[in-house]
Structure 1
Amino acid sequence: MSSSGSTLARRALGREMRRMREVSEISQAAAARVAEVSPQTIGRMEEGRATQVSGLHLNALCNAYGATDAERGTVLGLHQEVKQAKELGGGWWKGFADATPEGFDHYLGLEQDARRIITWQTTLVPGLLQTPEYRRAMFWVDDPTRSTDDVERLIEMASYRQNRLREPGFTIDVLLSEAVLRAQVGGRPVMADQLRHLADCAALPNVSIGVVPFDASSHLGSFVGSFVLLEFPPLPESKLIELPVVYVEGYVGDLYLERDHEVRQYRDALTEIRRVALDKTDTRRLIVAVAKEYGA
């Protein structure tokens, strides 16, 4: 179930604190001295990451930034939302802290709070639609030294992620390069099973899948690479509208993009990719045909 907007509230709080700090022309280092915390803590707070910043810290920063009563009220209200979510135990992934890749908990929080996910993938099936066998093969390729217990723990965590597909009000739109269907992750039987699962997922009312075939005309998807666009509902208590985020996963580091012009560019790319993608019927036909080619 939803993490009660904990990640979203932290993001909104961090964005407001960063805005007030920049308006007051105070550096992160100076803000850290005011609050008696490290500059890294100020940076993490402004990025919407989990910190130990308290209401006292926030009040001190509001004083330094010359916050209005309304601004202070917004900040403390968001802080209260974060506290309430924490008291409820946080997200389900906290129970998988030993298995979660470093830094990935932030994405899991965003994914859990998202109302809609739109993704373009050029090489791999997105995590929410992967079978256990497909994901297991991915893990062994990524790190052949992993123990069997560690891999199975990651598989278990993935199954919790996929509970989102059964939640009301959540939708996912998936755009795939045909290369995703052709890359033999785990071998032919694994791919045949994965593609049959994709075809089944495409029949769900909240799942949309479109494949861009190899013979499609040139499009932006060839240049931008894989990414995920996450859209969110209003925050549970304050009802503030939370901004969308573009997530770009990298081999040695991930990007979270939320500036208007950045998100707009990726939305434009999605429009162009959809233009050359097969419709629902032809997409399913291609997926089933490739599954049969694998002969399993």
Structure 2
Amino acid sequence: MAGGFRSFMDTLDGLGSSPTGRERLAAELRRLRGLAGVSGRDLAQRVGISQSKVSRIESGAVIPSLPEVTAWGKELGVSVETQAQLAALIEAAYNEVHPWGSALQRGNLQESVQDQESTATRIAVFQPSVVPGLLQTAEYARRVIGMFHRDYARSDQAAEISSRLHRQLALYDTDRHFDFLITEAALRWRPGPVQVLLAQLDRIMSIRTLDNVTVGLIPLSAEATTLTSHGFVLYEGDGQESWVTVETIHADMKVAAPDHVGIYRSRWGLLREMALYGDEAREFLSRIVAGLRTG
């Protein structure tokens, strides 16, 4: 069975684009059930889940829990080694890493981000070092993308900027809510002339007036309740799983394990305690703008 597992995974890898951890897990669970000659209805009864959930698991629409996969393997009589491999696949499904190099080869980076944003009804963004992409002006975005992807061709960079600005249309969808937490360091970081930053801060001032958008600003003078180690985005929706994305220098990470998502949700709550909102945020931003104009 273990040899069959490795052969099957090699076959998946050879089909073109590399399958995600979720796709690998779904394909292997589907394969194991087929080898055992057990129907989806029968397996559902044995495992204690609905037949529709079996279908969603095998299609990759839902990631099963470790107890569910353990029961799945037990009912199909798989080996201890295969159970361990399934456990590893669950970990990979819940925590996916997508290197920027492979993303560049697949095409526009913004398309995959927009796909994720389109399925969430609440998006919470924390940024300690740069203004979030959903709030960036065209010129600010051009400079950020140019710094981050220095090997981009000019046409690729233009497409990336256009797609990033297109993503911002979601801000005007009143059925969705956007929460932003931005540190003072990110507000003051200057990727170009002062005029570029002034235009960017004016954009934030304008967007924060939308009813479905909340902007919290974290001053350097605020007493710390937690570390602002790196940025992250928390995606949540009605009746569906929540997940988090984290951008690192080398890759984009997607975290979906419920306990790990809970850690980020808790961190968000602590960061929020440090932030200014409403009139206090407006006045704070106005002081930064005034300092830039006179400095």
Q: TM-score, normalised by structure 2?
A: 0.70
Q: Which residue of 2 aligns with 1:271?
A: 269
Say whether 1:229 aligns with 2:231.
Answer: no
Q: State the alpha-carbon separation in 1 of the partners of residues 248 and 153 from structure 2.
A: 24
1:201-228 deviation per Cα after TM superposition (whole angstroms, max 9, x unaligned):
10001110011101111232424x2111
The Cα shift of 1:279 comes to: 2.1
Q: Secondary structure at the match of 2:228?
A: helix
The Cα shift of 1:40 comes to: 7.7
Q: Secondary structure at the match of 1:276?
A: coil
Q: Percent identity?
A: 23
Give the conservation status (yes or no) of the 8 Å contact 2:108–2:159: no
The Cα shift of 1:77 comes to: 5.7
More divergent stretch after superposition (286-295 vs 62-71): 62-71
AA of the residue aligned to 1:246? V
Q: Which residue of 2 aligns with 1:126?
A: 132
Give the conservation status (yes or no) of the 8 Å contact 1:32–1:38: no
Q: Which residue of 1 aligns with 2:19?
A: 44
Q: Which residue of 2 aligns with 1:88?
A: none
Change (3 A) 1:268 1:58: closer
Change (3 A) 1:32 1:110: farther
1:94-139 deviation per Cα after TM superposition (whole angstroms, max 9, x unaligned):
xx997513xx654332112111111111011111111101001112
Q: Which protein shows a greater Rg? A: 2
Q: Which residue of 2 aligns with 1:74?
A: 53
Q: TM-score, normalised by structure 1?
A: 0.70
Q: Which residue of 1 aligns with 2:4?
A: 30
Q: Secondary structure at the match of 2:293?
A: coil
Change (3 A) 1:63 1:98: closer
Q: Secondary structure at the match of 2:19?
A: helix
Give the conservation status (yes or no) of the 8 Å contact 1:219–1:276: yes
Say whether 1:190 aligns with 2:210.
Answer: no
Q: Which residue of 2 aligns with 1:294?
A: 292
The Cα shift of 1:45 comes to: 5.1
Q: Secondary structure at the match of 1:294?
A: helix
Q: State the alpha-carbon separation in 1 of the partners of residues 39 and 21 from structure 2.
A: 16
AA of the residue aligned to 2:191? V
Q: State the alpha-carbon separation in 2 of the partners of residues 252 and 221 from structure 1.
A: 22
1:127-174 deviation per Cα after TM superposition (whole angstroms, max 9, x unaligned):
111110100111222244544333221111112211111223111100
* Runs of 5+ unmatched residues, structure 1: 1-25, 83-95, 234-240
Q: Which residue of 1 aligns with 2:34?
A: 63
Say whether 1:173 aligns with 2:179.
Answer: yes
Q: Which residue of 2 aligns with 1:281?
A: 279
AA of the residue aligned to 2:249? Y
Change (3 A) 1:97 1:198: farther
Change (3 A) 1:202 1:40: farther
Over the aligned positions, Cα root-mean-square deviation in angstroms equals: 3.4
Say whether 1:209 aligns with 2:215.
Answer: yes
AA of the residue aligned to 1:226? G
Q: Which residue of 2 aligns with 1:100?
A: 108
Q: State the alpha-carbon separation in 2 of the partners of residues 81 and 218 from structure 1.
A: 40
Q: State the alpha-carbon separation in 1 of the partners of residues 166 and 14 from structure 2.
A: 32
Q: State the alpha-carbon separation in 2 of the partners of residues 242 and 109 from structure 1.
A: 15
